[in-house]
Structure 1
Amino acid sequence: MTEDEVLAEFRASQALLEGHFLLSSGRHSAHYLQCARVLMDPMRANRLAIAIAQKIPRELRKEITKVVSPAMGGIIIGHEMGRALNVEAMFVERPTGTFELRRGFELAPGDKVLMVEDVVTTGLSSREAIRAIEDAGGKVIAACSLIDRSAGTADLGVPFFPLIALNFPTYEPDQVPAELAATPAIKPGSRKQ
């Protein structure tokens, strides 16, 4: 899929929002990608996952034995990536503030894991999820996401394959432009600060 085709999917599902948003990373932006909306259509979610899978080199795809994604945002796309790669998909969650496998999910020692996110902005959540996966016995061999918003700066410590990279500007709280700061920030994501 091309960038225009992916953005068309986001627009068709009203998942590309404009305004003043407080991202889960703590940064501010005039754009927000509501991946839950773009993924609510199972056929669209399947198409996007297949497109991401095609970004991963074939030899690396063959090595993946499990897909793990962070809750909440990564659950749907992680599940669809499991389907696209024909491997089990599970997720890590933060019941006490730190990612961990729960609900009977287990990784066997040596499981080669693809960590799947919806959007990567700074990479912090991705690195935390990778740490939890490795603490549970898996070996993360690659990561992927629908969208990379990091402008290429996110270092996840493993090969990273986003479907597309979007460089909507994001701002630290003390660097928000006056025109953006003039409107209240909305926090549409699932994670509390």
Structure 2
Amino acid sequence: MQLADAIRTIPDHPKPGIMFRDITTLLGDARAFRRAVDELVQPWAGSKIDKVAGIEARGFIVGGAVAHQLSAGFVPIRKKGKLPHDTVSVAYSLEYGLDEIEIHRDAIAPGEKVILVDDLIATGGTALGAVELIRRLGGEVVAACFIIDLPDLGGAARLGDAGVPVRTLVSFSGH
């Protein structure tokens, strides 16, 4: 089984010309989900990873499973206004405009080793914002892991340029 076969593609969503890569089918397939998590974790099995940070919302699902496998804590990175305690936020670029994400100020201690997780890397705006938040708190971003890479949009390359090793499992051309 190829992991790509477990990912549904929805043409023209959310707008014409976009091929939406839907991981809910992969999540619903126990073998594919297990394989994806195992493959994301593999390079760090046996390493000391303190935290896994997952980006809202699908990054929570995948990141929680990765954190469990690594015996690490899980840290949610959320859209502004969703976290209940003292936060640090960063604005990041979207295709049209800006948005903000935030993290609890006490979620990561200085020197902790952190893996960032989300379902997909496209332009990298959200992931780069998340890296900035983790680094502001003194965390060391060991890697960023994604099930899907859209290499034509350049996000994985941007993360690499920012000094973050990137692990992806499946690549799809286009947007």
Give the secondary-structure state (helix, strand or coil) at the position aligned to 1:90: strand
Contact 2:121 2:149 (C-alpha < 8 Å) held by counterparts: yes
- Corresponding position of 1:6: 3
The equivalences for 1:86-101 within 5 A come to 86-96=71-81, 97-101=99-103
Contact 1:70 1:91 (C-alpha < 8 Å) held by counterparts: yes
- Corresponding position of 2:11: 19
2:172 is the counterpart of 1:166: yes
Contact 2:51 2:72 (C-alpha < 8 Å) held by counterparts: yes
2:114 is the counterpart of 1:129: no
The letter for the 1-side match of 2:63 is: G
Relative to the length of structure 1, the TM-score reads 0.69
- Corresponding position of 2:33: 45
Q: 2-side partners of 1:29 and 1:6: how far apart?
A: 24
Give the superposition deviation at 1:21: 2.1
User: Could you tell me which of 43, 65, 70 is aligned with 1:80?
Assistant: 65
Contact 2:4 2:170 (C-alpha < 8 Å) held by counterparts: no
Relative to the length of structure 2, the TM-score reads 0.75
Contact 1:78 1:117 (C-alpha < 8 Å) held by counterparts: yes
Give the superposition deviation at 1:19: 1.9
Q: 2-side partners of 1:105 and 1:36: how far apart?
A: 31
Contact 1:66 1:113 (C-alpha < 8 Å) held by counterparts: yes
Root-mean-square deviation (CA), in Å? 2.5
2:134 is the counterpart of 1:114: no
The letter for the 1-side match of 2:14 is: L
Give the secondary-structure state (helix, strand or coil) at the position aligned to 1:45: helix
Greater RCO (Cα-Cα under 8 Å, separation 6 or more): 1
Among the aligned pairs, what percent are the same residue? 23
Give the superposition deviation at 1:95: 2.2
Give the superposition deviation at 1:130: 1.0
Gaps of 5+ in 2: 82-98
Q: Which structure has the bigger radius of gyration?
A: 1
Give the superposition deviation at 1:116: 0.6
Give the secondary-structure state (helix, strand or coil) at the position aligned to 2:148: strand
Give the superposition deviation at 1:140: 0.9
